[in-house]
Amino acid sequence: MGVAAILDFGGRYAALHESVIEDLRSRANPEEIAIVLTELREGDSVKIAEGALGGLDAVVTNVLSGEEGVRILLNFLGREIQAEVSAPRVFPPARHPLAA
C-alpha cells in the first residue's frame, strides 16, 4: 500500500487542518480506502481550478443531473458569462476549520 496521488486543485495542493486529519483517522479503517466527496449546490461560491479561466471566482447556478458537471456564472472582462464545467475542476474557497 502507498500513495496513489496527491490531491491538488489546479496546481495548488490541498491543505487540511490537523484536527480534520485526526477526525478522519479516528473514523477510518486503515485497511480500507476512503473517498471524500464535496457536494456542490446551487448558490455555492467556487474557484475555477484550471484551464483558461483558472483562478477565477464563480457561483454555481445549476448542478447538472446525471453528470459530474455544474453550470457556473462568473465575471470575465467586465461581463457576466455562464459556463459548464466538470465538477472536479471547481472547488469551494478555503474555509476556516472552525466554521460551521
Helix (H) or strand (E) holding 46: strand 45-48
Residue 40 and residue 70 in contact, taking contact as beta carbons nearer than 8 Å: yes
Residue 72 and residue 85 in contact, taking contact as beta carbons nearer than 8 Å: yes
Q: What is the pLDDT of residues 7-56, one digit of tens each?
A: 776 777 777 788 888 887 787 777 777 665 567 888 989 988 888 888 88
Q: Hey, what amino acid is at 32?
A: E
2 or 21, which is more confident:
21
8-9/12-13 β-pairing: antiparallel
- Whether residue 77 has pLDDT greater than 70: yes
**Domains (range + CATH), the chain:** 8-91 (2.30.30.30)
Q: What is the pLDDT of residue 72?
A: 93
Helix (H) or strand (E) holding 90: strand 90-91
